[in-house]
Structure 1
Amino acid sequence: MSTSLLTFAKGGVHPPESKEITERLAIEKMPLPEEFEIPLLQHFGAPCQPLVKKKDRVEEGDLIGQVTGGLGANVHASVTGTITDIGTSIGPVSLNVPSVTISRDLEAPDKTYTPSDWKSLSPQELLSKIKDAGIVGIGGAGFPAHVKLAPPPGTKVDKLILNGAECEPYLTTDHRVMLEKPEEVIVGAQILLRVLGISEGHIGVEANKSDAIDVLRKAAEAQKLHGAKISIDALQVKYPQGSEKQLIESVTGRKVPGGGLPFDVGVIVQNIGTTKAVYDAVVLNKPLYEKVITISGRGISRPANLQVRVGTRIRDIVQYLGGTKPDLAKIVMGGPMMGFAVSTLDIPVTKTVSGVLFLTKEEIDDQPHGPCIRCGWCVEACPMGLSPNEIGLYVEAGRAADTAPFGVFDCFECGSCAFVCPAKRPLVQFIRLAKQKAKR
């Protein structure tokens, strides 16, 4: 690998990429199913309160859920239709969350949006548009974008980084968005720079997406940036290159301290999909109720990069793509490193779903785990410099609550430790349990 490619210093792994399944498949718009189940908790924070009731008619893009207190983001109707239920939905981790079910009006046309001039708007007006559109971090935990873009008073932010690394195996949504919508990504970056009141932006893209790097550079050169500087930085192919703290180190050399946040080192990070959603919200006045997800794995009849409406059930996606194959062994929401295995197809797509993987037995490792052999591979692989082996041993000994000194709360559960472990130990599950016990 060329030394000119940027990367972080500590740890990291190289899992099989498996992106060849979908990386050359253009974004495909999925036909609308007849019913949508829209969760009112699609973000970090408190659930929205429903603003509608059963039998109400809603139009595509209408506000149907709003957070009345605490952190959160608005939720909008994905289609025009009638509210048939206000109940609960199954989430990716099998937690029931409040939801609104809409029966689509089969005769209603799709809503159209016309571009408008955004350059005369103030930073505060731009931020209000982003908040009203319900935009959250599409590539992560769903942190409300309007909150991230308003760091605490006295914070000095001088750099914006867009995360185009997409280092998770199988997933190719950001890659396709960068290839097919580069102008929107660049304009979205300009809007974010205006909101933050800064002029320096970076887009970090792993080198295995060289076509996206070329397209973005051409788009950035073609745009009139009005004093802003947006550079496209090629990153070394190494997982977890797309993690916030690792990406910041790769691009700027700055290290976010333990327990700290990106703005502590003068940086704000946003995902590529989030940036495209910012463009939609500000230029088109379109709320976030539609997104691109990767459907991949060798257990689905037809892989695809699909543009789907929020609230579309996985079952409807599977039916549209021709069903699953007989050797399907596991379904994962998200990527194989940080996603969650699910046991039902009745889960709706949310703003934070990046993909759904249908994996065969050959694509998963179901060997039983053994005892720690003290090889130290997990310590070498950990990008945060933690000791996953010690945390696992403490959990097994019934002392999960005593793991805070090992930095358990600095772990972002990337799975690098479990990937390299020769004993196949479920270290991420141990760490999640340790966090729960230590918090209590």
Structure 2
Amino acid sequence: MSLSYASGIRPLREQKKLERGFWNAAVPSTCIVPLQQHVGSKLAPLVQQGDVVREGMIIADGPGRFAVPLHAPIPGRVSTVGTTRLFDNTTSLAIMIELAGEFDRLGKEPERLDWSTRNPDELREMVRRGGVVATGRAPLPLHSYLRRGQGGVPPLLVLDLAETEPYLTADTELTSTYPDAVLEGLRIIARILSTTETRVLYSPGNRSALTALRRGMDRTVRIHRVPHRYPANLEQRIRRVVLPTRERDDPARRVITVRPSTAHAVYEAVVLGKPQIEQVIAVGGGAVARPAHIRIRLGTSVADVISECGGLLANPARLVAGGPLTGSEVFNVHAPLPKHVTAVLALTESEIGTAPEHPCIRCGACVRACPVGINPVLIHDLVAAGRAGEARRAGRSDCVECGLCSHVCPSRIPLVERIREVDGE
């Protein structure tokens, strides 16, 4: 399937700019750790009510190569192991921890591991034990994703620094603050993949992060600027940027793409022995009192995240976990954020263009905007008619859920939300 940068849109501008840098948010008195945080194997709790847990202790794991362990983000006592309602109104088994006792890591200088003598499989297992989940749209277990790139011809490794969706700037701030850690994490991933080919993608909005990276970057690393259009980081589009024409459609030519926050998590898991229990996120939108970037403990609720940034100036028209185009609406503010989410947005009516839904006028705007060349309104109509099988054959499996069709629709039809309904039938 061919893609073109002629499709897509220029990204919207944030109504209120976020503060540069980030700070550590207050440690919550209670952390809720859902067991459903990544694609793949189901996890089972390894603790029960009343158990005392240490910071970073494994509290859930599962069988199979797609399982990623979960760790206690805070020390304390397990108050509940049971079903909880997540921010998007789905449910999951979860472990609730009440803060108590001393932190094993907070404020202490960790020992560094010399990973240069470890083989790729050992390093990949360290990534798995660290519970590293790739940030982005699909919360893939990173060790499983990297397995795809092992064996055969070494793949091309890409660090995707480009951020074209409004407010998704946490990776830029993390990279600007810890460029050496991001680069070391990238080198560890390259070692796991046995590759010497590395690329860095950036967009005009994050030159500061690129400048920070350049100081420690190997000369063999090539840098590519991607157009300032959304979505710029689809796999097919990345292949068009980093591969010569003759290799773009060759399935044997593998490209492994990671975000800076993922590379940083690999660095912490391997070098510092620190599991993925924290996340830098962006908190923005016109309804937020102090739009900023903060580092939170995983298991922190959406309500606590907003409170950390001064609360709300007004009731938001839409509260979103993730980007304004690809994120999911928040229905339960007392639920925690999962590992792969890097933004919480309290958007005003002017930011989302609130308007009542009207019948389709067959203007074709959604078709022209679609970066993968499907007909969103056709799939929408098939879903509405209860013809899920035909909807799948019409291109549902090719949909990347970028949200452009909903964004450009003059009738304000929530096309991508309706298209997602096929998966439940």
Aligned mates of 2:168, 2:326 — CA distance in 1: 12
2:207 equivalent in structure 1: 210
**SS at structure 2 position matched to 1:292:** strand
CA-to-aligned-CA distance 1:91-118 (integer Å, 9 cap, x gap): 2321111111111116546443222211
1:273 equivalent in structure 2: 261
2:412 equivalent in structure 1: 424
Aligned mates of 2:24, 2:258 — CA distance in 1: 24
1:125 aligns with 2:113: no
Structure 1 contact 408–435 (Cα < 8 Å) conserved? no
1:16 equivalent in structure 2: 12
1:149 equivalent in structure 2: 146
1:4 equivalent in structure 2: none
**SS at structure 2 position matched to 1:344:** coil
2:237 equivalent in structure 1: 246
Aligned mates of 2:353, 2:309 — CA distance in 1: 26
Structure 2 contact 55–72 (Cα < 8 Å) conserved? yes
2:277 equivalent in structure 1: 289
Amino acid at match of 1:211: S
Aligned mates of 2:132, 2:172 — CA distance in 1: 20
Distance 1:368 1:309, change over 3 A: same
Distance 1:70 1:198, change over 3 A: closer
Structure 2 contact 185–266 (Cα < 8 Å) conserved? yes
CA-to-aligned-CA distance 1:319-353 (integer Å, 9 cap, x gap): 22222112422211111101111122111022111
Distance 1:108 1:435, change over 3 A: closer
- What are the within-5 Å matches in structure 2 for residues 157-172 of structure 1? 157-172=154-169
Identify unmatched segments of 5+ residues in structure 1.
1-6
- What are the within-5 Å matches in structure 2 for residues 210-359 of structure 1? 210-221=207-218, 229-252=220-243, 264-359=252-347
CA-to-aligned-CA distance 1:228-247 (integer Å, 9 cap, x gap): x3223221111011223322
Distance 1:110 1:71, change over 3 A: closer
Amino acid at match of 2:290: R
Amino acid at match of 1:119: S
**SS at structure 1 position matched to 2:317:** strand
Structure 1 contact 135–278 (Cα < 8 Å) conserved? yes
Amino acid at match of 1:147: S
Distance 1:20 1:195, change over 3 A: farther
Amino acid at match of 1:37: I
Aligned residues: 420
- What are the within-5 Å matches in structure 2 for residues 15-94 of structure 1? 15-18=11-14, 21-22=17-18, 24-69=19-64, 71-94=66-89
Structure 2 contact 16–286 (Cα < 8 Å) conserved? no
CA-to-aligned-CA distance 1:253-276 (integer Å, 9 cap, x gap): 56877xxxx975311111211111
Moved over 3 A (4+): 7-10, 106-112, 152-157, 253-257, 262-265
The Cα of 1:386 is off from its aligned counterpart by 0.9
CA-to-aligned-CA distance 1:394-416 (integer Å, 9 cap, x gap): 22333232122322101011011
Distance 1:70 1:189, change over 3 A: closer
Q: Percent identity?
A: 33
Distance 1:263 1:25, change over 3 A: farther
1:96 aligns with 2:91: yes
- What are the within-5 Å matches in structure 2 for residues 353-372 of structure 1? 353-372=341-360
The Cα of 1:19 is off from its aligned counterpart by 8.0
Aligned mates of 1:414, 1:43 — CA distance in 2: 19
Normalized against structure 1, the TM-score is what? 0.90
Structure 2 contact 203–228 (Cα < 8 Å) conserved? yes
- What are the within-5 Å matches in structure 2 for residues 399-418 of structure 1? 399-418=387-406
**SS at structure 2 position matched to 1:403:** helix
Aligned to 1:396, which of 364, 384, 388?
384
Structure 2 contact 287–348 (Cα < 8 Å) conserved? yes
Aligned mates of 1:363, 1:295 — CA distance in 2: 15
Structure 1 contact 168–336 (Cα < 8 Å) conserved? yes
- CA RMSD in angstroms comes to 2.2
Identify unmatched segments of 5+ residues in structure 2.
none
CA-to-aligned-CA distance 1:337-395 (integer Å, 9 cap, x gap): 01111122111022111111011222222212222222222122111111112112222
CA-to-aligned-CA distance 1:199-219 (integer Å, 9 cap, x gap): 011121112212222222222
Normalized against structure 2, the TM-score is what? 0.93
Aligned to 1:377, which of 342, 358, 365?
365
The Cα of 1:185 is off from its aligned counterpart by 1.1
Aligned mates of 2:257, 2:163 — CA distance in 1: 14
Structure 1 contact 157–263 (Cα < 8 Å) conserved? no
Distance 1:157 1:379, change over 3 A: farther
Aligned mates of 2:39, 2:197 — CA distance in 1: 28
Aligned mates of 2:394, 2:127 — CA distance in 1: 38
Distance 1:17 1:67, change over 3 A: farther
